A and B are shown apart, each in its own frame.
Chain A
Amino acid sequence: MDPLISIRNLHKSFGAKHVLKGIDLDVYPGQVIGYIGPNGAGKTTTVKIICGLISDFKGEIHIKGKDIRKDILSIKQLIGYIPETNDLYDVLTPSEFLTFIGALYKIPADLLTARIERIFGALGMSGHLDQRMDSFSKGMKQKVLIASGLLHNPEIIILDEPLSGLDANSVLVVKDLIHRLAKDGKTIFYCSHMMDVVEKVSDKIVLINDGVVVANGTLSDLRMQLGDKSLEQMFASLTTGHISSNAAISIMDALHLDSSPRHD
């Protein structure tokens, strides 16, 4: 089977800062990829390149056999992007925002309205469709972004920290949704820090650190290589140097320096 997303020797620099240092990755149809790594590892940069937000990179990316440099428009039609909560014009109402996004994907008006209402109803947000989003909580904004990424029924869904700010019930809905989307043949690219969720939803885990892939495989593959550890422990062992492994001990030492408070 040909990979749906194929990334070869991907490099990207911002000025003198070399963020991606040769990423190689294949993603197959229907897979759920957990794309994890510490802050600044290059996760968001990779995602932005795949979504067409960054166009000046080195290397090759093919999506459904199409070169991202030559055929970006038809590739964009395949992808649904769900960014972080703050990336939203919150003076609009969800209805205005989603109608606008839908128009950019040229979704027929009737279908668009029906989809917005259905998705919003399922997310428990029907009553908020015509209210300005600047008074929304983080979780409510995240639900609007989830709806915006699914509106055009894309083949590939890229989620960047999709659970941030969601309450427990909504987390369950999203996790269930990820399973159902995967069952429906969608390919999911899931970026997150929440190891327990990544561990549960992903078929394959890709760990990047400092711009290179340091681990790539199913959870059981990784356990074979690194021993019977939790994903959290694997993450810690592969990304040392980011924070000292003895960080907790150092903090305790700092607390024991002098415990008497200052008196004036």
Chain B
Amino acid sequence: MLWLVMKPERLYRHFGVDVFHLRTILLIKLAMDDRTATGINKVRSSGGKGETKLATAFTMVMAFIMGLTFLFMFFLDDDLSRLTLYLASFGFMLAMFLVTDFSHILLDTKDNYIILPKPVSAETFLTARLLHILIHISKILVPLAFPGFVAMWVSRGILGAFLFIPILILLTVFTFAIVNALYLFIFRLFSLRKIDSIITSIQIGFTALLYGSFQVLPHLLDRTVMESISLSDVWYVWILPSYWFACAWKMLYSFQFDLPLVIGAFLAVLLPVASFWVMVRYLAPSFLSKLSMMTATNRSEDSGKRKIIRAGSSGGVMGLFGRVWTRNNIERQFFFFVGRMVVRNRDFRLKVYPMIGYMLVLVGFMVFKNWDEINFHAADIQTSGLTMPFLWAMYLSGFMCITALYQLPYTEQYNAAWVYFTPPIERPGILLRASLKACIVRFFFPFVVVVSTLGLFAFGVKILPNLLFGFGAVLLGVILYAWMLLDKLPFSFPLKKANEDNFSIRNMFIILFTVIFAVPQYFLFEYDWVLLGISVLLIAGALYALHIMRGVGWNDVKWG
């Protein structure tokens, strides 16, 4: 790749670029890219510094797989509809990759310290930055577009495929300008820390979307429906820029010059050129000045914008449970501490939240897939066709809670765990129990409330024994998991250890527990009194396990 972009050496020299400097800068930047966990890599990566290898290869493979999933749009018969949908998905995915994978290049203020003080000309510096961005985009673009290119070749021949290339380039320029504008917009409105948290949230959403779409898209392949779709019949398709790009391709491929096609093609060329011009002329300078301002601003001077967080006792649901469900002040404060950390700690959020999103997509998909067979007005759940989604929703809440507990000990700030060891705490069991309770309130109770409300609303109190049994079993499962396998204090281990630890034991535990409880529940669905009787035992067992967890001693916990 580097060899390719370094080819027009003469041209670079003509513009006053020092080719030796240029190559040196690009070489080091590409090496750094490969070792930096960004975007989806951050979710995947094992964490610790220096641990990330082959980040580029992973991103490329992910982009290629995404490119493959778009192929189902080639089942559409109508060229315009197919391309409109394909290009819309392509543009969206590219924008997502850019937003999540790109922030470290756009926000790289280290250049200002490291390269600018050295005798490197402004031309060389700017060219290096542009080429770096170009290389970075093509690492995503090429694998993402490749499956579509091949499919185009197969379905519309070599001409169709090669006409596709300029269309994709125009779309890329357009997307790039939009993402740039988005960044600028975020910069204008928010502080540095807020930006970081916004990008993290986009990363989380994007990862959940990726997991979810791998699961859902293949099931949507209903050819008979797909073949009959025609978007060109509706006027509002013009709102989609991807339709204009599709028009441009169709005009060139079929050599038809109908007015709508010409207008579309005109817009497809005008838009990227205009947006590129706006970007270079207006956005880029203000972006760079904003960036250098950010570098120059001392963090402590930023204090005016800092949000005030009321401390002391925690408010809301956590505050309520903290007061009624903890035995003493140590347990209560630790409960608040973990409750805050799980919503604020970036490492934890990046690992756990996408999984939650993914599981929600899964439940939603189960309902959606059987939509035709579901009868919301049925007298009971068995005849409504909702038995399986209902069971899934209940037991998945347990998986979510266990995922959160599994991930709880790992963070890059594990050194801060000295706080558990210097105070005179007799047994860490009380800390583990408080962590468990905080996770139950944060990750389990919301599902109990939502699923119970929906269930009771749709089927009345008849559903109650099943709710009690299912959630009782999950509660017991979660507490037993913590009692048997949670041997590390929260946020006390380096992230890289998360992958080495007993991941498979956790999965075994989940499977075993599901087999023992979910399967019998499926068969006992109608036997209310049996379910009720067992529920009482399950909940009593859960509370007892929670009680004895307090006795866990210092020798039973590990510290990174």
Contact = CB atoms under 8 A, between A and B. Distances in A.
Nearest to A132: B309
Interface string B414-431: 011011111111100000
Interface string B332-353: 1110110011001110000000
Contacts of A128: 303, 306
A45 B554 CA distance: 20
A130 B416 contact: no
Contacts of A74: 424
Contacts of B419: 89, 100-101, 104, 148
Given A99-B333, A104-B330, A106-B329, A136 B300 contact: yes
A169 to B, nearest CB: 14
B484 interface: no
A260 interface: no
Contacts of A87: 415-416, 418
B298 interface: yes
Interface stretch (A23-31, A77-85, A196-204): A77-85
A42 to B, nearest CB: 18
Nearest to B345: A91
B418 A83 contact: yes
B7 interface: no
Interface in A170-204: none
A117 to B, nearest CB: 12
B19 A264 contact: yes
Interface string B292-312: 000000111011001111111
Interface residues of A, number: 45
Nearest to B330: A103
Nearest to A77: B424
A53 interface: yes
A53 B421 contact: yes
Given A51-B422, A100-B334, A104-B423, A92 B193 contact: no
Interface in B16-69: 18-21
A51 B193 CA distance: 34
A39 interface: no
B340 A92 contact: yes
A225 interface: no
B413 interface: yes
A239 B299 CA distance: 38
A52 B421 contact: yes
A132 B312 contact: no
Given A89-B341, A99-B311, A103-B329, A135 B299 contact: yes
B333 A103 contact: yes
A76 B423 contact: yes
A218 interface: no
A103 B418 CA distance: 15
Nearest to B194: A135
Contacts of B193: 132, 134-135
B345 A136 contact: no
Q: Secondary structure of the B side of the interface?
A: helix
A89 B333 contact: no
B422 A89 contact: no
Given A89-B341, A134-B193, A106 B330 contact: yes
Contacts of A93: 309, 311
B491 A100 contact: no
B416 A73 contact: no
Interface string A227-247: 000000000000000000000
B416 to A, nearest CB: 5
A140 interface: yes
B425 A91 contact: no
Interface string A102-130: 01111001000100000000000001111
Contact of A91 (B18, B329, B341, B415): B341
B332 A103 contact: yes
A86 interface: yes
Nearest to A48: B418
Nearest to A139: B300
A101 B309 contact: no
B442 to A, nearest CB: 15
A74 B426 CA distance: 10
Interface in B275-295: none
B309 A53 contact: no
A136 B306 CA distance: 10
Interface string A122-154: 000001111110111100100000001000000
Contact of A88 (B303, B334, B416): B416
A264 B20 contact: yes
Nearest to B192: A135
Contacts of B191: 135
Given A81-B422, A89-B416, A104-B423, A131 B491 contact: no
A131 B307 contact: yes
Interface string B388-431: 00000000000000000000000001011011111111100000
A96 B309 contact: yes
Contact of A131 (B20, B303, B341): B303
Contacts of A164: none
A90 interface: yes
B309 A86 contact: no
Contacts of B330: 103-104, 106
Nearest to A151: B423
A95 interface: yes
A135 B311 contact: no
A152 to B, nearest CB: 8
Given A51-B421, A74-B424, A76-B424, A104 B333 contact: yes
Given A91-B346, A130-B311, 20 more contacts: A51-B418, A52-B421, A53-B422, A76-B422, A76-B424, A81-B418, A91-B344, A91-B345, A92-B337, A95-B311, A100-B337, A101-B423, A103-B329, A127-B303, A130-B308, A130-B309, A131-B308, A135-B302, A136-B300, A264-B18
The 4 closest A-B pairs by CB, nearest first: A95-B311, A103-B333, A104-B423, A91-B344
8 contacts: A83-B415, A87-B418, A91-B344, A92-B341, A104-B423, A104-B425, A132-B193, A132-B307
Interface of A: 51-53, 55, 72-74, 76-77, 79, 81, 83, 86-93, 95-96, 99-101, 103-106, 109, 113, 127-132, 134-137, 140, 148, 262, 264
